[in-house]
Every structure is written in C-alpha cells, then in structure tokens.
Amino acid sequence: MHVSTGDLFRYNLGNNTELGILAKSFMDKGQLVPDEVTSDMLKDHLLKNKDQKGFILDGYPRTIKQAETLDLMLKELFNAEVTTTLSLVVEDNILINRLLERGKTSGRSDDSNKDVIESRLKEYYKQTQPVSDYYKANNKLVEINGVGAKVSPDLSLAKIYISVFPKENRQVVFKDIEKSKPQIRLEIGNSLKNQLRIIPDLRFYLDESIDNVELIEKELKGEGNNPKL
C-alpha cells in the first residue's frame, strides 16, 4: 500500500482531525510540524490498514528521529522492519533547474525562488541526508541515478526493444542483445522493478515499460528461453 505523508497531511488538515488541527497550529505560526505529529499521523493510518501485506512510504522518514520512530512503530504494530529504502541521486544544479522550471506551473512560491530552493537543499543535507546514511549502514539503501535516461539503462533499452520489434522477431533480437551486451537483462530484477514503481516522479513513465517487459518475459519463458537476472 502506497502511503504519502503529503496525502496524510492533506487528509488530516482537510477533515479537521485532532492531528490536523494540531499540525495547523504550528503551520499558522510559520513553525515546522514536530516529528511526533507526523509520526502519529502515519501510525494512525497504518493502524487503520493493518490487513495490508506491506507499505511503501513516500516522504517518510525525513529525519533520524523519524527513522528511529519508524523502526519502533513497525516492530510494535507488525513485528516487522524496513526492508529497503530508495534514494534518487541528482546533482544540486539539476535539482535547482528542475524546481525553477516546475515553479512556472506549480504555483508554489518556494519553487520559483532560487535562494529558497538552495535553503531547502541545505536543510535536506542537514536533516535528511543522515537518514540515507542510517539505512546505508544497515544495508537497506538502494541509490538510483535520477537524471533522465540514466535512471535505468535497462528500462530505456526495454522500451526501445518493445516499441520497435514485432513479436515474431523478439527472440532473435533478445539473443543479439545478449551477445553484444551480456550485462543487460530484460528481466531487470524484480526488486528494482518494484522499487522503481514507487517513485512518484517516475512511476507514470515507467509503468507501461515495466508491464510490457513482464509480458515479453512471459513470452520468452514460454518459448524455453528464460532471460537471466
């Protein structure tokens, strides 16, 4: 189940829940909402959905304190732990340009001011970067290049492969790819495929490619030639 902290805030604020009113009291003063309030919103949502097989958390944890709280929360509610965290790696100058471009249509004042964006980046390195280090130390961090086609050469190749070649030629082309680039596999890896689906800025672009790759993999397996991981 996908859980976005942005959605949680909008729900609680929009419905004037006890947590929403508490969060608004800080926001109205221009203060950051305390970690405890955000964590309580998440816990409340997880408790309402305990029958789910798992959760994909989007936007949480953002601080070490939240990460530690999440560990305790998952242990208490589900006797479970975080399995994987994703980090999209993008150079600061590219991030700044992306946000400035987004600011032309988003209506957000903090997207159109370079000084504000740079301040947000400084806050990220101070508060959120340590979270990546926290999970990396526990072998639970996957870093993905978040720049254009570099996000996943495998997926880019798969999209071309699917778009250009008719079904009857796929086996031949697949064998040619294997000979020329043995490190490239159409079966990208279930873990990576599932992880990439959850990144909001990428999932709409990738879903069709991933689904088509899976269909082709089934065809290849049915013909007795199973792509290797």
- What would the pLDDT profile of 24-69 be if each residue is shown by its tens digit? 998 888 777 899 999 999 999 999 998 888 888 988 999 999 999 9
Report the distance separating Cα 88 and Cα 145, nearest Å.
Answer: 6
Q: Is residue 23 part of a domain?
A: yes
CB under 8 Å to 165, separation ≥6 — which residues?
A: 173
Tokens of 59: 């936007």
- The per-residue pLDDT for 170 is 46
- What would the pLDDT profile of 162-213 be if each residue is shown by its tens digit? 344 445 544 554 554 455 444 444 433 444 444 444 444 444 444 444 455 4
Q: Is residue 227 part of a domain?
A: no
Tokens of 209: 């490619």
The residue from 64, 83, 102 where one domain ends is 83
pLDDT at 227 over 50: no
* Partners of 85 in beta bridges: 141
Contact 189, 216 (CB under 8 A): no
Q: Is there a single domain that holds both residue 153 and residue 216?
A: yes
The residue from 39, 68, 83 where one domain ends is 83
Rounded to the nearest 5°, which phi and psi values hold at 30? 75, 20
The Cα angle at residue 1 between residues 132 and 193, in degrees rounded to 5: 60
> Which of 32 and 157 is assigned the larger pLDDT?
32
> Which of 30 and 94 is assigned the larger pLDDT?
94
Number of domains composing the chain: 3
Residue 57's H or E segment, with its range, is strand 56-58
Span 10-28, average pLDDT: 92
Q: Is there a single domain that holds both residue 16 and residue 75?
A: yes
Tokens 């996943």, residue?
A: 152
Span 148-172, average pLDDT: 48
Q: Is there a single domain that holds both residue 99 and residue 34?
A: no
Q: Is residue 99 part of a domain?
A: yes
pLDDT at 17 over 80: yes
Provide the whole-model pTM: 0.61
- What would the pLDDT profile of 102-128 be if each residue is shown by its tens digit? 888 877 766 778 888 888 888 889 988
- The per-residue pLDDT for 35 is 92
Query: Hey, which of 8-22, 116-130, 207-221 has the most confident mean pLDDT?
Result: 8-22
Other C-beta atoms lying within 10 Å of the C-beta of residue 142: 14
Q: Is residue 144 part of a domain?
A: no
Report the distance separating Cα 226 and Cα 54, nearest Å.
Answer: 29
**What is the domain range of residue 32?**
1-83
CB under 8 Å to 155, separation ≥6 — which residues?
A: 188, 196, 206, 209, 210, 213
- The per-residue pLDDT for 145 is 76
